[in-house]
Structure 1
Amino acid sequence: MDIVRIDGKTLTSDDLVGWLKLSGRFSHVVQDIIKEKLAATAARKHGLTASPDELQNRADQHRRALGLHRAKEANEFLDDASLSLEQYEAFLEDALLAEKMRADICSEAAIEEYFSLHAPQFDAVELSHLVVTGEGKAREIVSLLGEDPDSFDEIAAEHSTAESASDGGRVGKVMRGALNPTLEAKLFNASVGEVLGPFDADSENTFEIFSVTAKYDAVLDDTTRDAVSNLLYNEWLETAARDFKVEV
């Protein structure tokens, strides 16, 4: 299928697939499709359905999002995409069923139960850091901070090569799982106000120093709910992929 012509050269659907593969985006698109198809398949096996009204509402929302305000425009859109009305309806139904399946998996009760069992996983620390070149300079700065921990912002602004230097080295709140496990353990076990380092940074002969500015016990707020929901859904997808024998 031809997608577009540029200066007389035609880009086909095969060209698009090739471009997606070469750019590294193909696998992400495929994974998104697999996730939706898995959830929709499971929803049907669980007896979940999409009513005609739900399908119509979803179609209306989808057409508005695409700027298709009249039936003629919607039909022309499908024709241009070489898609039938049946394919379009199947697309909408799969999306609705996948959402319903996720809602069942990630119910409020399931989220609360997971959180109660894994609360420490959602603890957070607030960090500042600075990055310098040379171990000698790094150790000198650690010594200075040992004498005056409150000067971290000033020293970071003056000496750090990290982008955060302009903000006094502030990183902000960091949850478990975002850092190297060894470094994470040290930071989460540190006291507020404690300076840690120097640690080897990503680049050669660069070193990183941290200050723990605050610690937060896990709270089931909206951010944590989203994180738990994603964990529950991804765990379910891994199991579903085995149960339904997905082959790529």
Structure 2
Amino acid sequence: MTHINVLDPSASPLDYYGYELRRYREAAGLTQKQLGGIIFCTGSLVGQIETARKLPTAEFSERADVALGTDGLLSRLLDLVLRSQLPAWFRQIAELEARATEIYAFQAQLVHGLLQTEAYARAVLGVMDQTDLDRRAAARLARQRILDKEEPPVLWAVFGEGVLHQEVGGPEAMRGQLLNLLSYLDNPRVNVQVLPFTAGAHAGLMGSFDIFRFESDPAIVYSEDYETGHPTANPVEARARLLRYDHLQAAALSLQDSAELIRQVMEERYGEQRAVA
């Protein structure tokens, strides 16, 4: 007889997801192999997700919800599962991103996590630590689901021009990353500006930061170092950082000119431009 792992659904969101998946599958009278056949995956994958050894994806969750008649339960659990895979110190920030109505981000060295491609994210996360890279990259990319909500936040992202030239993950990864930034040009809720080298000394020289604004709660400012993050709702700091951001936006190129610079760097450094979807 096949040994079945006994899951404690209270152990973690991933364990709870696996417990519910198994409960619904067994209630439907399906084996793991049979469910896999219905949702176009292997029975082994179903088993790994049921035993909390592998992360589910949005596609898996949506198909399993339909096949098992869960009324969308697994898809609703997915955000909680993926958020739980983030570093403990960052989970509060992911919650702030999910609740914010407006996000203002300044990044001097990297593309912001909400706009990273998978290849770029894996290169960033794997610099000093290759362990569990699949899970960590999936958790980072899952944060981007907030941009697909029915009412997503308005995201303003200002990048230093050096971000376009810093070759993270190799030429192919950079080409894909810059194409991804260009794909937002006609999206009024995701706005990308580049702070050019010619701006000289600017209001962001002290480092990268984010500002989260909410419907009724005070604004929160967030910055981080190598090991942890530092959120604060201090109104004096929030006002000071908002003023800095105003100056950064004023010094940055317009949305259209930023796109032109991104396209130029992509063509000159990372190969021919491909059509933007």
TM-score normalised to the size of structure 1? 0.25
Query: RCO greater where, 1 or 2, for CA within 8 Å and sep 6 or more?
Result: 1
If each structure's helix is expressed as a fraction of its own residues, which one has the higher value?
1
| Rg comparison, structure with higher value | 1
